[in-house]
Amino acid sequence: MEKKIFAGDRLRRLRERAGLKQADLARRLTISPSYLNQIESDQRPLTARLLERLAVTLNVPKTYFADSEDARRESQLREDLADPLFRALPGAQAEVGALVRAAPAFAEAFMSLYRAYSAQLEQQAVPATALPRFPYDEVRDWVQARGNYFDTLDRAAEAVFEENDFSAATLREDFRRYLSDTHGIITSSATGLLGSGVFWRLNRTTRRLYVADDAASESEVFWLAHVIGQLEKKELIEKELRRGKFSSDEALGLARISLANYFAGALMLPYRRFHEAARVSRHDVQRLQRQFGASFEQVCHRLSTMQRPDLPGIPFYFAKTDIAGNILKRSSATRFQFAQFGGACPLWNVYRAFTHPGEILVQLATTPDDVTYLNIARTVGRGGGSYLARPRAVAVVLGCELRYAAQTVYAAGLNFTNPDAIDPIGPGCRSCTRANCRHRSVPPMGRTLDMGTAERGVVPYRLKG
């Protein structure tokens, strides 16, 4: 039996963005306003026929109202089944969607078992009882399931900013003074911290906060805001954590740090001020950098969190990667799926950014589910401060669905109608269904190889069917 889709909040926000009242949309859908109201209140599910009408009326893909958790589970399960261990199950791929919808708990159990199996292969010396549970992935999925937005923390951070008359121009001094006046904590710079891998250190006994002396100003502002969140919003953070179900103390601890970081970003870039500035600047990241004294990465990440129900921003996804292809940070208010194993797509412009350091690269890209995104990518970070410091080579990417592109400055000069101007990207070769991609490194999962010698394709194998 198909899982019922309750998507009232997504439908309401989409209707409001289209400038339609409930009565207007109900009339276009040939349903009663009371029925539409029940759907938006999650009292009635969306029917298959109504989904078809909504897709046409509001110009969205049919999958727009699909459960994001189902999409996450399905993408991850497809990757797991790409393991050669399952090559004897060629029909498994076709059944993934049905399994996720009919038995989501079973799908989660299978994926947990596979993660444990993978970890044991990599760490044969580790007892089975000590196998890691991938806490980073667990916390990332939890944050994404929340739409990358935590309302109570966001509003609390905004209240602290406004009640204390902080200013973006003097935020570093404001935060230092606030910590001293409110908590009796004196902030001072310390040499050698970054060399030992430490950004800041709080000595609660002497009530001193030491920050790395060679850190960028915007980094120090973020760390100060993080400490303020730890000191003042512990109860709010713990309340949010109780809403999650974490499998280990490590995952719980990482989630706690993640929420303190969320508060810090919201305190640096308060919601309403930042939302209005983003709208006026057409989401020009560099202009927002100057206005708020933040880094390129901080602005991009904050843009991906702007999902307050009564004042939503553009749904963006955000990712940070190193030059080896490791995803260091990711968050999403969209349906964009990230690869869990095997590396991401080489056509994704975040990887081309490393060949153009410091430049902003703009890309139109379509994923296998036929959703087109506007992506901007750039390398971030500073030099290591010395020749032997070995600076970290990282890049970030910010993306939104094409229907929001016109609200950004990055849409200028792009040809939205030419299919040749749109790159076909995927979540990674193992789970990507594009059979004829010349950039493919390994075959897609669930496909049988044709080892005939009558022809040679762009990759050294052909796919049957």
Give me the pLDDT at residue 144, please. Answer: 79
Give me the pLDDT at residue 306, please. Answer: 94
Give me the pLDDT at residue 46, please. Answer: 84
Host H or E run for residue 361: strand 361-366
Phi-psi category of residue 332: left, alpha or beta, with phi > 0 → left and psi -120 to 50 → alpha: beta
First to last CA, the chain: 29
- Tell me the percentage of the chain whose pLDDT exceeds 70: 82
Give me the pLDDT at residue 14, please. Answer: 81
Query: How does pLDDT run across 404-414, given as a tens digit for each residue?
Result: 999 999 999 89
Tell me, what amino acid is at 307? Q
Question: Under CATH, to which class is 8-65 assigned?
Answer: mainly alpha
Instruction: With CA atoms as reference, report the closest residue to 428 among 361, 366, 355, 340.
Output: 340
Domain ranges across the chain: 8-65, 68-132, 133-268, 435-465
From residue 280, give the alpha-carbon distance in Å to each of 19, 101, 233: 19, 41, 31
Phi-psi category of residue 254: left, alpha or beta, with phi > 0 → left and psi -120 to 50 → alpha: alpha
From residue 402, give the alpha-carbon distance in Å to each of 4, 30, 197: 27, 28, 40
The two structure tokens encoding residue 350:
């975040």
Residue with tokens 């009882």: 129
pLDDT range class, residue 143, cuts 50, 70, 90: confident
Residue 5: partners with Cβ closer than 8 Å, 6 or more residues away: 45, 46, 51, 65, 66, 67
- Whether the per-residue pLDDT at 27 is higher than 80: the answer is yes
Residue with tokens 């401060």: 385
Give me the pLDDT at residue 66, please. Answer: 63
Give me the pLDDT at residue 138, please. Answer: 84
Query: How does pLDDT run across 434-443, given as a tens digit for each residue?
Result: 777 888 877 7
The two structure tokens encoding residue 148:
């990358």
Instruction: With CA atoms as reference, report the closest residue to 212 among 223, 204, 203.
Output: 223
Residue with tokens 């490590």: 250
Mean pLDDT, rounded, of the chain: 83
Mean pLDDT, to the nearest integer, of 235-258? 91
Residue 220: partners with Cβ closer than 8 Å, 6 or more residues away: 172, 211, 212
- Residue 200's DSSP bridge partners are 211
The C-alpha atoms of residue 257 and residue 230 are separated, in whole angstroms, by 9
The C-alpha atoms of residue 12 and residue 40 are separated, in whole angstroms, by 6
Q: Do 422 and 365 contact (CB within 8 A), yes or no?
A: yes
Mean pLDDT, to the nearest integer, of 437-464? 69
* Higher-pLDDT residue of 463, 46: 46
Fold of 133-268: Arc Repressor Mutant, subunit A (1.10.10)
